[in-house]
Chain A
């Protein structure tokens, strides 16, 4: 079956512009996570969705970052007024409700802010 997909795969933007990153989880997976990965580093948790609700937003680095999920499926991570330090790979993962520790990752969106 289809895995987690993310779009765009690459995004180059200018400082101060807004960007939207999209995640399509595996069908039927109710849990969805966003992570950020700096070059060659480990992953930093951003936000967790259970269905359309976000019970844990503790990893969002500033109020310029927001995320939503609709229909219990697609999720969008929005970064407003991008800064150069926002440059990173943004990864999305989904997992089934009964086994939330088993997360399936998408290929990521590589964001470069000039």
Chain B
């Protein structure tokens, strides 16, 4: 069974601060995704990283996939209240039968105070 450990579980910061969320596993994933979910809605895909060591940027968000494809991080620069939400990492298992099947981390609830 593949597990993804996501940390921290809760993060409460002031507007303008930086933060990093981590996603770690002992398993190798063929890809790693980050989602953001708002109350009453389904998760929305932010990014997919596929190659070990890959770094992707989305405005103030920077996503990194570990060299061994076992871990990932999400860094937010100068957080804003609009960044508040539940952030989820999800890994796609290596191997053809796992294609498309995602294992999710427990999530990080981020609150950015004005």
Contact = CB atoms under 8 A, between A and B. Distances in A.
Are A and B associated in one complex?
yes
Interface of A: 4, 31, 33, 35, 40-45, 48, 56, 91, 93, 95, 100-108
Given A40-B109, A42-B106, A101 B43 contact: no
A41 B106 contact: yes
A42 B104 contact: yes
B99 A100 contact: yes
Interface of B: 4, 6, 31, 33, 40-45, 48, 86, 88, 90, 92, 97, 99-107, 109
Given A42-B104, A42-B106, A101-B92, A4 B42 contact: yes
Contact of B100 (A40, A42, A100, A108): A100
Contacts of B102: 33, 43, 45, 101, 103
B104 A101 contact: no
B101 A105 contact: no
Nearest to B50: A101
A41 B86 CA distance: 9
A42 B91 CA distance: 12
Chain B CB within 10 A, most for which of A35, A48, A103: A103
A43 B43 contact: yes
B46 to A, nearest CB: 12
B107 A105 contact: no
Nearest to A110: B40
A102 B45 contact: yes
Contacts of B105: 42
Contact of A105 (B44, B86, B103): B44
Given A42-B88, A101-B92, A48 B43 contact: no
Given A40-B86, A40-B109, A42-B88, A103 B104 contact: no
